[in-house]
Structure 1
Amino acid sequence: MPLSYPFSAVLGCELDALDDLGLALVLTAVSPDIGGVLVRGEKGTAKSTTVRALAAVLPPIEAYAADRFSIDPADPSASSPDGPFPDDAETVTRPVRLVELPVGATEDRVLGSLHLERALAHGKVEYEPGLLARAHRGVLYVDEVNLLHDHLVDLLLDAAAMGRVSVERDGVSVEHASRFVLIGTMNPEEGELRPQLLDRFGLTVEVAAPRDPALRAEVVRRRMAYDLDPAGFVARFRSAERALTERIESARERVAKVRLGDPALLKVAEVCAAFEVDGLRADIVTARTAVAHAAWQGRDEVTRADIRRAALLALPHRRRRNPFDAPGLDEELLDRVLGDDELPPEPPEGPAPPDGPEPPGRDDAEPPAPGSSDGEEPAPTPADPLEGAPVPPGPGPSSGQTVAAGAPYRPRLLKVQGLGDGVAGRRSRAISTTGRRVGARRPGGAAGSLHLVETLLAAAGRQPGRPRTGTRVELRPEDLRTAVREGREANLVLFCVDASGSMAARRRMTQVKTAILSLLLDAYRRRDKVGLITFRGQVAELVLPPTHSVDIAAARLEELPAGGRTPLAEGLLEAARVLVRERLRDPRLRPLLVVVTDGRATGGRDAVVRAQQAAEHVAALGVTAVVVDGETGPLRLGLAVELAARLRAEHLPVAELSAETLAATVHSHTHPVNGAA
């Protein structure tokens, strides 16, 4: 087994110079109740290297030699499906496990399942533990956690919330403990994390490559030295690794003795309230992190510095209301809430003084800003994007204007026609690893759980031609059948947006941008991949190649100028090129083309004819398409309707994209006013 890169050799993870990433991982190791760490950052920033190196510096644990579930022998309340164990049962001291959960893992691999070999060969029903059992009292690591399938996310949420796993399937009924430190790494460019799972991570860290050339050179120097002589490089940092392990062990022993006084706890609550985080999990995690930080620093009482460092790690990801919000924390606001003075000492036990303590933060707070109340800064008034500074020109001969989108709404569900076989998601019908069971098939390229009944039926028809041994049914590999399930898949949603002068009216472009923003938010929730093409002036531009990062798409949309002629043909042809390229890259990812336009084509003398030909070219690709008609007002030309006919696409007025509008329309037709027929 190759030697792992030392944790203390990672720049920023040295014992006396821990950066946010190193500190977050260490604090979670000191106090696993914090709830794990989410590491966000661009590719090539040593996220995975650092996490994999963590296990080597964690203090070892003691477990029963015959226990596959790693319960603690010193915990009398712990129970294992392999137990009970006698008092003289053999125990072993072993390193903490770092269990990696692949994003493509099956549910059986994560939860565990029937031991197939013993069931078929010996007729015994025996449970084979999964990854969640193996991770108990260890570290569960998910690389590219934002790409994790929804059904695996649900399993992690249940295990993280309950600390136990219950398996009721295939004739097996097992319950076992599963408490682990959950660590996930992700590149935000590939998409955001599901909000429910995001909140389960206790701490979050943003990492980036250093910009200082000297630091970058040192990173390269260390990596090359490790690649040249792994054993020698690891030996060079062995003493630092040992010192780090000893300090983590010492902090674990101290953490139960650290005092979190009422003034400190009240300050934690003030910080969480000031940043308007949802629920109380943020308060609990911040308090636990502050206690762990105090223990790591060798203190017996939580200080202002502990709370500040804890808030910077525990709150940024809990302030996000939707995937388009930028992560981060306003440190100036944090410092104002914490104040400059150290926390007051814990008051003596007994009755409080007659007058009671003064409310904190009132007398010593900064004076209120003009026009504000309670000392809070007034909310800035958003500037009109069409007033003030000049707008940069877009493609084409004329400059464009940008208009902000309104508040997103819940749009109608747009689906790809037919039955797909793509990655599990929440949009279109597909044969998937989850969902209702609709049949069985021989094992092939797609993974699936064993369909025991169909396997036995397939074997039963072949028994007369096979030698019999007693009364048992002889099973062979060709008899195996896996379940076929119908669920939902994710899709590629490609937006082709008209940003020409005919769409540039403030009200119309606001309505269109709001519609696209709503569809982007819907695509995020359904785990889709999105791309954005715009056309105006003389050209079409792929402003966002297909990606899972819908927040980048929203940023591109916000900056989108409008004005100039309408090169509709160029926009459709660019969409065709992207669709063909993405089909070659991933044939299973079925596309949904959303063309947002009023249908006009004014990009040259033969613009209308070229647009018709381009529409027929796109239609020949056999792609499911929707034309969102941006034309509004009483006088309409109906050109988008003609375009939809040539694309063989659904025509949808932008005003009818909202699910609430559709529901109201249906209700008006099914419940006539005054009993009218």
Structure 2
Amino acid sequence: MPQHYPFSAVVGSADMSLALVLSAISPEIGGVLVRGEKGTAKSTIVRGLVGVLPPIEVVAGDAFSTDPAERPDAPTEQRPVRLVELPVGATEDRVLGSLHLEKALAQGAAEYEPGLLARAHRGILYVDEVNLLHDHLVDVLLDAAATGRATVERDGVSVTHAARFVLVGTMNPEEGELRPQLLDRFGLTVEVAAPRDPALRVEVVRRRMAHDADPEAFARRWAAAEADLTRRVAAAQALLPDVVLDDDVLLKVAELCAAFEVDGLRADLVTARTAVAHAAWHGRTRVTVEDVRAAARLALPHRRRRNPFDAPGLDEDLLDDVLGPEPDEGPEDDPDGPGEGPEGGPEGGPDRGPGEQPEAPSQSGPAEPPEPAAGADDTPGRPDPTAEAPEEPTPQPTPQPTPSPAGAGTTVAAGATYRARLFTVRGTGRGESGRRSRAETDTGRRVGARPGRTGAIHLAETVRAAVPHQALRGRAPGAGGRLLLDADDLRVAVREGQESNLVLFCVDASGSMAARRRMEQVKAAILSLLLDAYRRRDKVGLVTFRGAGAELTLPPTRSVDVAAARLEVLPGGGRTPLAEGLEEAARTLATERLRDPRRRSLLVVVTDGRATAGTDAVARSRRAAAALAAAGQAALVVDCESGPMRLGLGGVLAAHLGAEHVPLAEVSAGALTATVRERVA
């Protein structure tokens, strides 16, 4: 069994370590969401956490890790806390459990086979790239985390079992955000980033290389620090029921949540529970304002998002206004501290304040003993820098597109967004589950059945397939007894739902579009369509054309936040190379089809239809449009032409593309509804 990197050997990212430990002390907090760029040790520290958690008592041989207190007469055994990893591509029956097929076929017994939630009971359920998980699975996980139970009603099985676990999700925001209502269900969230201090990076590499060279020796070196943390976590868990949350402190929690204008009361509950766990972690039996401050920094930032383009964050000035200024840090009397680390200095466990970092180590060895916070990512074949959480997360700056030879152009802010119409890809696809176009998916209404051994069983069709073979299998006509089934009889349900698509925007940023009022409307329309793509779980990309050429401003991504940021700084001006824009879009779409053949795409061309750059510009643009139509590319032309005298070139382009033609003013769902009502009246 591979040796995980020790939790106490990683460097930096104190917020992440603190959030994980507090959730382990008090699972009722609701789990942790870790946001960070790639290679910031998110997986390493989560896997290392189980190494410092105290073992648990369970009923011997029980598949559900039942607490012996629920069955006092049953024999017991002690085992380590489990870390159960949930793959992004897992099916619902694998998560919840389902009919045990082998026993059903061999013995005719309808027996429940536990899923991952049963295995994770009283442990940690870890979902890497949780933002890529199908929505219905995220709902299942969060409902189980909130209620502490999982219910299975499928395939003739009716089971309810306990499922209390610490849910930990990690994600890279560049690959897309979680929906706000799902984001709110995570108790705590932290941001991680790679350290910028070269000395810290050197220490990370030194420790990672030492671990990879001899994992067992490295683990022995940190064994004392791991044992100290285990004792401290156990002491905090034992102390937790005795911690007192006074009414005046609870009032501070309520004032804080009201001041930050968070929705609902979940923030109040999570902040209060986190403050209690923080007090227990420090060995105190009474919650203080500083416990509330530490809890707020973990529980409130992600609840401040009002729309998908808002970055999580916390206003430190407002925090100080409600709780008072933060006291100067000094040595704290901590009787339950973890003691000495293997380097001979005091081991700095995850009790540092959020954002506080260790001193930079010297080249000869660590000047500050290790902290359980972040480490080199242990994914094979990837670089392994560690994470360091900033005190207040800020979005990364977005590079401005390179100006074309025609000039730098001007940048115009977008107008107000609105609810956009739904535009879909015609036909029925088989792509990833989403909310845009029709497709065969794992969820949705049942429309048929097919042979197979994975997925939800269609019982009626399975029986119907088995009936003609009963005589050959030795069952006499009219005889009683069970139906004789074979694996080839199995039929799984074919369901029709909705899929997500790739929405590629091809945006005209030329001089004819650069009029301030028009560009405001164009950007508002694109932002509105981006919001719609976010809600429907689509990937998005952005091609822009102006001056003498076109560029892929944003390669296809799940992050509409990045797309919005690139759009915000999009300059306008110059001629209109429409043909080059369509050709660049065709190349991008062809590349994406090779990467993900199942995902269908929708090309959204935002233009007034003019083509003025280069020789024979109009003919070349029409040839490029016809080539896309011949390839069967689904497309939409958002016609930005305005004014009393119109050439109708957007409609001509839509005809060559075989695309739907929509005037800019009709992108809004509200505007379309008003037009229909007016015409009906």
In structure 2, which of residues 406, 413, 423 is the aligned counterpart of residue 414 of structure 1? 423
Kindly indicate whether residue 630 of structure 2 is the aligned counterpart of residue 620 of structure 1.
Answer: yes
Please give the alpha-carbon distance, in whole angstroms, between the structure 2 residues aligned to 1:449 and 1:163. 24
Cα 1:442–1:636 shift into 2, 3 Å: same
Please give the per-residue CA displacement for 1:494-533, whole angstroms capped at 9, x wherever unaligned. Answer: 0000011111111111111111101111111111000001
Please give the per-residue CA displacement for 1:69-114, whole angstroms capped at 9, x wherever unaligned. Answer: 2222225xxxxxxxxx4x4311111111111111111111111111
Partner of 2:46: 51
The runs of 4+ residues in structure 1 deviating greater than 6 Å are none
Q: How does 1:587-626 map to 2 (within 5 A)?
A: 587-626=597-636
Please give the alpha-carbon distance, in whole angstroms, between the structure 2 residues aligned to 1:161 and 1:67. 23
Please give the alpha-carbon distance, in whole angstroms, between the structure 2 residues aligned to 1:66 and 1:395. 69
Please give the alpha-carbon distance, in whole angstroms, between the structure 2 residues aligned to 1:293 and 1:660. 48
Deviation at 1:271, TM superposition (A): 2.0
Q: How does 1:611-650 map to 2 (within 5 A)?
A: 611-650=621-660
Partner of 1:9: 9
Contact 2:99–2:112, Cα closer than 8 Å, also in 1: yes
Root-mean-square deviation (CA, aligned residues, Å) is: 1.7
Q: Which runs of 5+ in 2 are unaligned?
A: 328-399
Contact 1:21–1:207, Cα closer than 8 Å, also in 2: yes
Please give the alpha-carbon distance, in whole angstroms, between the structure 2 residues aligned to 1:296 and 1:482. 50
Q: Give TM-score scaled by structure 1 length.
A: 0.87
Q: Secondary structure at the match of 2:431?
A: coil
Deviation at 1:48, TM superposition (A): 0.6
Cα 1:489–1:393 shift into 2, 3 Å: closer
Kindly indicate whether residue 111 of structure 2 is the aligned counterpart of residue 126 of structure 1.
Answer: yes
Partner of 1:60: 55
Q: Comparing 328-337 with 231-240, which one deviates more in the overlay?
A: 328-337
Deviation at 1:392, TM superposition (A): 9.1
Amino acid at match of 1:532: L
Please give the alpha-carbon distance, in whole angstroms, between the structure 2 residues aligned to 1:289 and 1:119. 46
Cα 1:393–1:58 shift into 2, 3 Å: closer
Deviation at 1:25, TM superposition (A): 0.5
Q: How does 1:345-424 map to 2 (within 5 A)?
A: 394-424=403-433
In structure 2, which of residues 448, 459, 462 is the aligned counterpart of residue 452 of structure 1? 459
In structure 2, which of residues 429, 441, 448 is the aligned counterpart of residue 439 of structure 1? 448
Please give the per-residue CA displacement for 1:368-398, whole angstroms capped at 9, x wherever unaligned. Answer: xxxxxxxxxxxxxxxxxxxxxxx99732312
Contact 1:143–1:184, Cα closer than 8 Å, also in 2: yes
Deviation at 1:293, TM superposition (A): 1.2
Please give the alpha-carbon distance, in whole angstroms, between the structure 1 residues aligned to 2:402 and 2:233. 56
Q: Secondary structure at the match of 1:175?
A: strand
Deviation at 1:606, TM superposition (A): 1.6
Partner of 1:32: 27
Q: Give TM-score scaled by structure 2 length.
A: 0.86
Kindly indicate whether residue 308 of structure 2 is the aligned counterpart of residue 298 of structure 1.
Answer: no
Contact 2:184–2:303, Cα closer than 8 Å, also in 1: yes
Please give the alpha-carbon distance, in whole angstroms, between the structure 2 residues aligned to 1:341 and 1:322. 30
Please give the per-residue CA displacement for 1:199-221, whole angstroms capped at 9, x wherever unaligned. Answer: 11111111111111111111111
Contact 2:510–2:572, Cα closer than 8 Å, also in 1: yes
Kindly indicate whether residue 591 of structure 2 is the aligned counterpart of residue 581 of structure 1.
Answer: yes
Partner of 1:80: none
Please give the alpha-carbon distance, in whole angstroms, between the structure 2 residues aligned to 1:154 and 1:19. 29
Partner of 1:369: none
Deviation at 1:467, TM superposition (A): 4.3
Amino acid at match of 1:91: T
Contact 2:118–2:162, Cα closer than 8 Å, also in 1: yes
Q: How does 1:247-266 map to 2 (within 5 A)?
A: 247-266=232-251
Deviation at 1:3, TM superposition (A): 1.8
Q: How does 1:47-446 map to 2 (within 5 A)?
A: 47-75=42-70, 85=71, 87-340=72-325, 394-443=403-452
Deviation at 1:466, TM superposition (A): 3.7
Partner of 1:22: 17
Q: Secondary structure at the match of 2:449?
A: strand
Q: Comparing 469-478 with 55-64, which one deviates more in the overlay?
A: 469-478
Amino acid at match of 2:39: G
In structure 2, which of residues 524, 547, 567 is the aligned counterpart of residue 557 of structure 1? 567
Please give the alpha-carbon distance, in whole angstroms, between the structure 2 residues aligned to 1:33 and 1:580. 48
Please give the alpha-carbon distance, in whole angstroms, between the structure 2 residues aligned to 1:42 and 1:392. 22
Q: Secondary structure at the match of 2:104?
A: helix
Contact 1:39–1:204, Cα closer than 8 Å, also in 2: yes
Q: Secondary structure at the match of 2:408?
A: coil
Partner of 1:480: 490
Please give the alpha-carbon distance, in whole angstroms, between the structure 1 residues aligned to 2:298 and 2:416. 29
Please give the per-residue CA displacement for 1:607-660, whole angstroms capped at 9, x wherever unaligned. Answer: 111111111122122110000011122221110000000000000011111111
In structure 1, which of residues 458, 463, 469 is the aligned counterpart of residue 470 of structure 2? 463
Partner of 1:361: none
Deviation at 1:66, TM superposition (A): 3.6
Please give the alpha-carbon distance, in whole angstroms, between the structure 1 residues aligned to 2:141 and 2:440. 23
Please give the alpha-carbon distance, in whole angstroms, between the structure 1 residues aligned to 2:424 and 2:461. 32
Deviation at 1:250, TM superposition (A): 0.7
Partner of 2:336: none
Contact 1:416–1:592, Cα closer than 8 Å, also in 2: yes
Contact 1:119–1:126, Cα closer than 8 Å, also in 2: yes
Partner of 1:348: none
Amino acid at match of 1:99: V
Cα 1:392–1:202 shift into 2, 3 Å: closer
Q: Which one has more relative contact order, counting CA pairs under 8 Å at least 6 apart?
A: 2
Contact 2:434–2:538, Cα closer than 8 Å, also in 1: yes
Amino acid at match of 1:302: V
Partner of 2:347: none
Q: Secondary structure at the match of 1:474?
A: coil
Partner of 1:374: none
Deviation at 1:134, TM superposition (A): 1.5
Deviation at 1:468, TM superposition (A): 4.5
Q: Comparing 634-643 with 398-407, which one deviates more in the overlay?
A: 398-407
Amino acid at match of 1:430: A
Give the count of matched residue pairs. Answer: 606
Q: Which runs of 5+ in 1 are unaligned?
A: 13-17, 76-84, 343-390, 673-677
Deviation at 1:164, TM superposition (A): 1.4
In structure 2, which of residues 33, 36, 39 is the aligned counterpart of residue 41 of structure 1? 36
Amino acid at match of 1:271: L
Cα 1:341–1:8 shift into 2, 3 Å: closer
Give the % identical residues: 71
Q: Secondary structure at the match of 2:313?
A: coil
Please give the alpha-carbon distance, in whole angstroms, between the structure 2 residues aligned to 1:392 and 1:495. 16
Contact 1:278–1:318, Cα closer than 8 Å, also in 2: yes
Partner of 1:373: none
Deviation at 1:592, TM superposition (A): 0.4
Please give the alpha-carbon distance, in whole angstroms, between the structure 1 residues aligned to 2:326 and 2:142. 39
Amino acid at match of 2:529: L
Please give the per-residue CA displacement for 1:414-447, whole angstroms capped at 9, x wherever unaligned. Answer: 1011110111111111111111111111228xx5
Q: Secondary structure at the match of 1:200?
A: coil
Partner of 2:380: none
Q: Comparing 46-55 with 116-125, which one deviates more in the overlay?
A: 116-125
Cα 1:341–1:547 shift into 2, 3 Å: closer
